Structure 1
Amino acid sequence: MPAPEFFVTPGYGPALRSALHYSQAVRIGDRVEISGQGGWGPAWESVGEVAFPEALEDEIARAFDNVERTLAEAGATWRDVVAVDSYHVPAGADSIGEAHNRAMVEQFRRRMGDRAPIWTQIGVAALGAPGMRVEIRVTALTGRDAA
């Protein structure tokens, strides 16, 4: 079994690695797993002082951008993604809501075309930073080790 390689995303990754002691991605052979990515900007001043876009759609698009940047650091792309777990702070008490679904599906189609990975949506009461409404974690298979 290949040794794990850990990666931090340029920009916010080193700050999060230092402050919270975790890596943004791990690669073991042709499998890439990333930690949850939120809709923060490319720089992270300090933990707890993060601004998220006012529009939910913009926050979700930024989270997808951050997934893309993190995958790239580990040698993968959205086209390699086989599984998505998304965590949502719902606007209503009984479901994640149509606005979340619509924005997520729009990004899936834009970034993966016809590829449709498995997807699990999880509604949560809170995420890792104040004001954060979505976090996305993916698994990708690159085929790098394929014969």
Structure 2
Amino acid sequence: MSNLRSYAYPGAGEFARDTMHYSQAIRVGDNIFISGQGGWDRSTIEIRPELTDEVDQAFDNVDHALKHAGGKGWQQVYRVITYSTDTRATHDRIIDNFRRWMPHHQPTWTEIGVRELGLDTMHIEIEVQAYDVEGAKEAEKGKGEGGVNGVVG
């Protein structure tokens, strides 16, 4: 799929690309697909110790991944899937973050409870899809970010 632009933001994104062979974001036409973002520090990949901080950081990481892929962030998100090891503990904080990050629209949302996530210390992971017509036009012109095989560091 070398015709699709993929993105790996510095720190955790590059680590995932280099060690686990996946991208943080891929553009498909007018859409940006974001891989699951946890509540990790983007530089150290350490998970926030407090659950509410972990949820907040995961939302921030989604915003960062979208913007790194040339999007405008949460304002373009139309679909959200959350994975949580304790949906009762994260549910209300997720809704608080929806209201904070998307005050003018409501996306679709699927909330999934899971036994474990990719890192032993993770309790939340957020996957989104965003609609970005303007960024897609820039990427088509070759002005969007890109690199070898479309992978961005």
* Fold shared, TM-score > 0.5 on shorter chain: yes
CA RMSD of aligned residues (A): 1.4
Deviations 1:72-129 (A, max 9, x none): 0112210000000000001xxxxx20x3111101111111103100000110000000
DSSP 3-state at the match of 1:17: helix
The aligned counterpart of 1:63 is 58
Runs of 5+ in structure 1 lacking a partner?
A: 45-49, 91-95
CA distance in structure 2 between the partners assigned to 1:143 and 1:88 by the alignment: 31
CA contact (8 A) 2:41 2:48 kept: no
CA distance in structure 1 between the partners assigned to 2:47 and 2:22 by the alignment: 21
Aligned pair 1:101/2:91, yes or no? Answer: yes
CA distance in structure 2 between the partners assigned to 1:78 and 1:51 by the alignment: 23
Higher helix share: 2
The aligned counterpart of 2:32 is 32
TM-score, normalised to structure 1, is 0.85
CA distance in structure 2 between the partners assigned to 1:123 and 1:132 by the alignment: 13
Percent same amino acid among aligned pairs?
39
Runs of 5+ in structure 2 lacking a partner?
A: 138-153
Q: After TM superposition, give the deviation of residue 9 of structure 1 in Å.
A: 1.5
CA distance in structure 2 between the partners assigned to 1:22 and 1:9 by the alignment: 12
The aligned counterpart of 1:93 is none
Query: Which consecutive aligned stretches of 4+ in structure 1 deviate over 2 angstroms post-superposition?
Result: 143-146
CA distance in structure 1 between the partners assigned to 2:21 and 2:115 by the alignment: 24
DSSP 3-state at the match of 2:133: coil
CA distance in structure 1 between the partners assigned to 2:12 and 2:50 by the alignment: 21
Q: How many residues align?
A: 133
TM-score, normalised to structure 2, is 0.82
